[in-house]
Structure 1
Amino acid sequence: MPSITAPSSPHVLVVPFPAQGHTLALLDLAALLAARGLRLTVVTTPGNAHLLSPLLAAHPSSIRPLTLPFPSHPSLPAGLENLKACPPIYAAVFVHALAALHHPILAWTKSQPHPVVAVLSDFFCGWTQPLAAELGVPRLVFAPSGVLGTAIPHSLFRRSVKPRPSNDAVGFPGIPGEPAYQWKELSIMYKMHAEGLVEARLGEAVKQNFLWNLESWGFVSNTFRALEGRYLDTPLEDLGSRRVWAVGPVAPETAVHRGGEAAVGAGELGAWLDAFPEGSVVYVCFGSQVVLTPPVAAALAEALERSAVPFVWAVGAGDEDGGDVVPEGFEAKAKRRGLVVRGWAPQVAALRHAAVGWFVTHCGWNSVLESVAAGVPMLAWPMTADQFANARLVVDEARVAVRACEGGVGVSPDAAELTAVLRNAAGGGEECRSVRARAKELAAEAAAAVRGGGSSCQDLESLVQEIRKL
């Protein structure tokens, strides 16, 4: 039901980062804020404006777009406005390019009869911190990752950690448990900066963006206390000791597919899954950014074939041509028990189908939360970004996942070892039974968090009240 917002309601400026996993989560949060009586203006560009359509339709009186031309940049191809399926180098370029929106946004904001009282922006949009300062309003940082996954890159930039060999460990003494990760497992954006793999001005722009976040009013994180309570109990030095409002999962339980035109409909996929027993199917997807190399896809295909588990493999979610990496003849061999979806698949619907028992995932945060909310245990196969931290969180701390392989972009797993992991998951060994049971428990805790009186609901209400005081 559309929200009705009074003209005198607090006005918040929302600035997403143009990558699917970042934008959609922030738009979900915007919907929650609008439903609680806030007025929001969401900055977008022509190539990303369509992503706002469901939000504008649901809240026509309280949310409006501010569509500005995407800033041109010599390192970006003409017309490229979203990071979908782009090489990692483009992330740093996008951070640098978007900062050029500062002055157009400032000019628009100063012309409005109802001034904004706060800026809410993605953590890759640290340039909005000086923008907010010019407007004389506080800035909230939206973290599309969990608290752990957000603290680690901020720690790296804050401490200016020096490069080291790929297998050397980097410790994080300011984070509870003092975790350590190998250099190769850390944020590729930080590694490109530290190793000089991007232009100095791009690297410095990225670093400054993260450091600006530490000057903010606080962080709003798409997480919940039952999952990351140990990182929420004490203000983290690596987040500038700022307050963290844990308001997730922000996506509605009935979330529809929003990543693009789906290659298969939820009804069609559900009908195919109906033929399989409860919990017997493995769902495989690596998100909107990862495109598997042919050797990695071949190892995965071999493991799926040798394990004999029923499966749905959404391949090429990040690239409509990604289906070409599927080995020739694989689908014919597996057609009775396997479905290959080239392009986008309705992931939320798939995970919530009774037949799906496991999720082979890159551990992107949105996929983690969707799996947690559905009560489906994960087979963790991290690739980059925050995914190694997320994998450790769900495997070692939350105990709702089993490691599928070591992971890493372009790193081919051992097909025999991956086969054994799939067979063990399907066979329901003692460890896997425990993980499945814990996944059901955490799903109930996630649902309770966002209901009235739940921890995330309370944090969201507290955030709205703080904004109203402005």
Structure 2
Amino acid sequence: MIKWTGDVVNAYSLVLFSFSFCFENILTEKSVFSSKNHKQINKAQEKLFSPALDSSTKPITATALHAPPQNAGEMTPETRPGNSKPHIVVFPYPAQGHMLPLLDLTHQLCRRGLAVSVVVTTGNLRFLSPLLSAHSSESISAVSFPFPPHPSLPSGVENVQDVGNSGNYPIMASLRELREPIINWFRAHPNPPVAFVSDFFLGWTNDLCRQIGIPRFAFFSSGALLAAVVKFCFDNIDLVKSTEPIRFLDLPRTPVFKKEHIPTTVRRYIHSPSPELEIARNSYLENILSYGCVFNSFDCLEDEYFEYMKQKVGHDRVFGVGPLCSVGLDPSGRGKSGSDSVSDVDTKALLTWLDQCPDGSVVYVSFGSQKLLTKDQCNALALGLEKSMTRFVWVVKKDPVPDGFEGRVAGRGMVVRGWAPQVVLLRHMAVGGFLSHCGWNSVLEAITSETMIMAWPWGAMNAKLVVDHMGIAVRACEGTETVPDPDELGRTIQAAMGNDGKEVRSRAAEIGKRAVKAVEPGGSSWTAFDHLVQELLHL
């Protein structure tokens, strides 16, 4: 059972008031920040994917927070979707890079007249509060279950952000234990769901859907190139084992990757097969057997890989509906949860500092929510930034920033500890480059912000796409454990932000405009999303 105290509700009220203020300004095509200093992107967010707010969508107010289910898997009358709307289930995987885009998609599904039940464990319920406040109880509800314990996970850990990437396999194993509770909830529901949309890390839900007799749509929070590479690897294990580097002859453009750069699950499966990895492999292959596949990507970026996936799955129910970061809720709080520490530099102070910088002169530096840099990596990065003589904002978590560094770069650089509003910062006119690990969400947020990427990829797929295929990024470094040469890194940053990077920055701006057009009425992603909605409405 979930207990909501008055203090919790009051705390959420403050958060939701800020969401209301920011989102209302988006609706009226005004900005809570100075329009002079923000890239003219996505002005009328509510025009995207849907021509107008439907009657089930309420303004975001502090009083709109839904009461959660009283018991595990139970829905109260206040949270039960009404019988008048087609009812679907959404099951996100509890990691920030997975949850954010699927909840963005859920927001749009609600706006198109579907009733959505979102399956989460109790500890992840807090991530739903913006959605629950933005829509009526007839449109969206939370179905929460206690998190099944796992011997490899500390008590209370229910999200990858609490334990890091090492927690993926045990969390995936724990979530498989929810199969019977979900089936029991489905069978007891007065208005059973007609479809199931779940993250591609939850491939086992396809077999669950066979059992209850409804179609499952696999949601890929990452791109179609990655999906194609994993599919090829699992279909050609002997070839992948015996070849170095691996030439993907079956894929568009015939990409070539070293073994060390193929996805971690495939590498582990090849070198150290185990029952756990066999389950992971089978789970992935279940995604390909699903009724439909939904990608957080768009035609301009990956059209050829969408076509490849259509050939492999044997049907046309492959939907590129991204970039979903352009059609979600208020970007100023994107990715922040109640457990995030408060940044030492508040957003207003940071934006004020950026306002004083020339357009395109600042490098934004961030490496996602999961990985901490080592001391040697931090030392090399700090020295590289110092040598580049370029303005920068460096977002760190608990990374060991060298002593004295901040004093040496005072006035030219800022170090932000904790959480920062990445989308808002990338869209600021002063930000001209993004030194990134090339996680998919970060790639899409950079693209939609028309910001060039300086890639330090910790996985080669996305970097291959943005550097080699699209020409909207430059390579700064490569590898999760790599310690860059500070002199070389400094020169790369300086060159990318100067005249040498002018062509790449121009290309990034061009692709960014096309990305935003993709989710506008008539765009490729808008059309694909409409086809997805029609599929769901007619099941």
TM-score strictly above 0.5: yes
Aligned counterpart, 1:94: 171
Q: Percent of aligned positions with the same letter in both sequences?
A: 42
Alignment of 1:352 with 2:427, yes or no, is yes
Which residue in the other structure is 1:426 paired with? 497
TM-superposed deviation, 1:242: 6.2
| Conserved 8 A contact 1:249-1:446 | yes
Deviation at 1:289, TM superposition (A): 1.2
| Superposed counterparts of 1:369-380, under 5 Å | 369-380=444-455
Say if 1:3 and 1:341 are closer, same or farther in 2 by CA, change over 3 A.
farther
Hey, what does 2:474 align to over in structure 1? 402
Distance 2:239 2:185 in 1: 41
Q: For residues 48-447 of structure 1, what are the structure 2 equivalents within 5 Å? A: 48-60=124-136, 61-84=138-161, 86-161=163-238, 168-196=244-272, 200-236=274-310, 243-252=317-326, 254-257=330-333, 258-260=335-337, 261=340, 262-263=342-343, 264-316=345-397, 322-323=398-399, 325-384=400-459, 388-405=460-477, 407-429=478-500, 432-447=501-516
- Compute the displacement of 1:86 (Å): 3.2
SS for the counterpart of 2:518 is helix
Deviation at 1:202, TM superposition (A): 1.3
> 2:530 — aligned with what?
461
Q: For residues 442 and 7 of structure 1, do their structure 2 counterparts lie closer, same or farther at Cα, with a shift above 3 Å needed?
A: same
Deviations 1:151-179 (A, max 9, x none): 222322333357759x9312222221121
The two structures, once aligned, show a CA RMSD in angstroms of: 1.9
2-structure distance, mates of 1:105, 1:163: 37
Contact 2:228/2:309 (<8 A) preserved:
no
Letter of the 2:133 counterpart: A
Please list every run of 5 or more consecutive structure 1 residues that lacks an aligned counterpart in the other structure.
Answer: 317-321
CA distance, structure 1, for counterparts of residue 156 and residue 318 of structure 2: 36
| Deviation of the 1:440 alpha carbon | 1.2
> CA, structure 1 residues 27+462, in 2 after alignment: closer, same or farther (shift >3 Å)?
same
Deviations 1:323-369 (A, max 9, x none): 4x111111111111110011111101110111000000111110011
| Alpha-carbon distance in structure 2 between the residues aligned to 1:365 and 1:85 | 20
Whole-angstrom distance in 1 between the partners of 2:473 and 2:269: 32
> How far apart are residue 74 of structure 1 and its match?
1.5
Amino acid of the structure 2 residue aligned with 1:332 = G
The amino acid of 1:413's aligned partner reads P
- Is structure 2 residue 526 aligned with structure 1 residue 449? no
Paired residues of 1:45 and 1:68 also in contact (CA < 8 A): yes
* 2:54–2:112 Cα contact (<8 Å) kept: no
Residue type at the aligned position of 2:521? G
Question: Which residue number corresponds to residue 319 of structure 1?
Answer: none
| 2:407 partner letter | A
Taking structure 1 as reference, are residues 241 and 193 closer, same or farther at Cα in structure 2, changes over 3 Å only? Answer: farther
Indicate if the aligned counterparts of 1:157 and 1:210 stay in contact, CA closer than 8 A.
no
Q: CA deviation at 1:123?
A: 0.3
Label 1:181 to 1:212 Cα distance change in 2 as closer, same or farther (>3 A).
same
Q: State the distance in 1 between where 2:112 and 2:462 align.
A: 30
Deviation at 1:223?
0.6
Kindly tell me: are residues 450 and 171 of structure 1, through their superposed partners in 2, closer, same or farther at Cα, counting changes over 3 Å?
Answer: same
Per-residue Cα deviation, 1:404-429 (whole angstroms, up to 9, x for no partner): 11x11111111111111011022222
Could you give the per-residue CA deviations for residues 396-449 of structure 1, whole angstroms, max 9, x where no partner exists?
A: 1111111111x11111111111111011022222xx111111111111111111
Conserved 8 A contact 1:15-1:120: yes
Q: CA deviation at 1:255?
A: 1.6
